[in-house]
Structure 1
Amino acid sequence: MIIRWTYAFADRPAERLPEARAFWTAVTGTHASEPRGEQGEFMTLLPPQAAGTDACVKLQGVTEGDGGAHLDLCTEDVRKLTGTARELGAEPVADHGDWAVLRSPAGQLFCAVPWHGESVRPPVVAGSRLDQVCLDIPPSAYAAESAFWAGLTGWQRLTGSRPEFEVLKPPAGLPVRILLQRLDAERPASAHLDLACADIATVRARHEKHGAVPLSSGPHWTVMRDPAGGIYCLTGRDPHTGGLPDATERTTVA
């Protein structure tokens, strides 16, 4: 297995990073690490030490655009992972020596980073778990992009609850799934975070208490905006397994 751990990044405008930090630590039951990076742009959301678990969510302050989300893929061999990604169609963006930034065929940024032995995902907090990065893909790029992520991860590929969704389900123990969403209209690829919620209404009320605003709702999801302006979703999935209660995800033939 090339990918040994995953981090979901909430990317937010640098000037609003304090708001993002306050909100995301509150709703995930974590505390933020000391800032890292040349501009103090990186923070890790750390579970309580007593939980005996490893982090899987980070924040990044960005200086261009409104932010969004991206994945860090942790591996014992960064060069091997970046080489595989490039063979599958990714483009290199920045080489930092022991880690690298790449761009998927549809234009989504992601990082290949060293694995530091993380192995135990954080617990469910107040009926929810941040466990999914949704890649929002324009129709013209969907086939190539979904094939890229399936090939890069080697994860189980499942059809979703609606025709526009596919899920890449990681091996047991890895903390973050990938949801592939085919958009209705052409626009640049982007990404957002999803939380699995035992009860969306209860989790939504808790998030609103910490400053989030609901924007719209679907059959089993609610779109929210956090206090730093980032869009994310509360989804009606089992926070322990990540699956839908009615088990509508099923294996698809690649």
Structure 2
Amino acid sequence: MHVRWLTAFFDFPAAEFGAEVTFWRAISGSTVSPPRGEHKEFATLEPFHGDPYLRVQRVADGPGGMHLDLHVDDPSAGAREAESLGATVESTTEEFITMRSPAGGVFCLIPSGDESVRARPIRWPGGGISIIDQLRFQVPSTEFDAEVAFWADLTGKDAGDTTAVDEVALNNSPRLSLQVVILRTGEDVASAHTGIAASNLSDEVERHEDWGATIVERCDDSVRMADPSGRLYCITARNPRTGL
């Protein structure tokens, strides 16, 4: 399967939709497109430079979450390939196919468009630079090796030896909008969250706190955060231009 673009989808509960869109618009330095969809449930976070890769969806039921859209030439053929690697089909529409990875992570296959220009990091007042550049799948420890192998095969990337490794980053390609990262966790259910690369970790955390986020856990080179509605994500001291 040739993956031509990646889109991270924020799935927000209806009661939190407006506040969540406001927060993530500010954090990403984006503008918000006009709503679309039968119930005006979709919108795009438009970067100031580059093609869109962050979208939002208002969901009627459940707590929401995140999922990944893979832009491919033929979603039906892609779904067959994904199934051969261990994925399962959740639903099919004329526009996209919703699937689950072996560990239960949600992703969709959609027809590729003309997206090709990666968004640039934003330079904020004070000089710090940051960008949302990762979608990080947290998977149960028992599913970790299988999940890494699945995403490596699906994206055509060699994952290498995963022995004694708790985090594997795939497809760090300048032509793609996002990097897929698989994390080993003690949780029983797979989930996903965003990762943000920041040149100045402390300044970036303070900026998020100004918008209502809170610190959950602080490590040497990363900070786990919760947005105003409790959605978890992480900020990491990495080069926002290269992701390294």
TM-score (norm 1): 0.88
- When structure 1 is superposed on structure 2, of 223-232 and 15-24 the one drifting more is 223-232
Compute the displacement of 1:60 (Å): 1.9
Letter in 2 for 1:194: G
Deviations 1:65-84 (A, max 9, x none): 32222110001211121111
Deviations 1:218-252 (A, max 9, x none): 23111111123211110111110011xxxxxxxxx
**Structure 2: any 5+ residue segments left out of the alignment?**
none
Compute the displacement of 1:156 (Å): 4.6
What is aligned with 1:250?
Answer: none
Is the 8 Å Cα contact of residues 216 and 222 (structure 1) preserved in structure 2?
yes
Is the 8 Å Cα contact of residues 155 and 171 (structure 2) preserved in structure 1?
no
Letter in 1 for 2:112: W
Deviations 1:155-192 (A, max 9, x none): 353679x9311111243221100111111x24111111
Report 1:197-236 matches (<5 A). Answer: 197-236=198-237
What is aligned with 1:115?
Answer: 112
What is aligned with 1:46?
Answer: 46
How far apart, CA to CA, are the structure 2 residues paired with 1:65 and 1:186? 19
Question: Once the two structures are aligned, what percentage of the paired residues are identical?
Answer: 37
**Count of equivalent residues:** 238
SS of residue in 1 equivalent to 2:196: strand
How far apart, CA to CA, are the structure 2 residues paired with 1:149 and 1:175? 16
Letter in 1 for 2:21: R
**Structure 1: any 5+ residue segments left out of the alignment?**
244-254
Runs of 4+ in 1 over 4 A off after TM superposition: none
TM-score (norm 2): 0.92
Report 1:5-154 matches (<5 A). Answer: 5-48=5-48, 51=49, 53-125=50-122, 126=124, 127-154=129-156
Letter in 1 for 2:213: A
Cα-Cα RMSD: 1.8
SS of residue in 2 equivalent to 1:3: coil
Pick aligned residue for 1:155 from 154, 157, 170: 157
SS of residue in 2 equivalent to 1:179: strand
Letter in 1 for 2:56: L
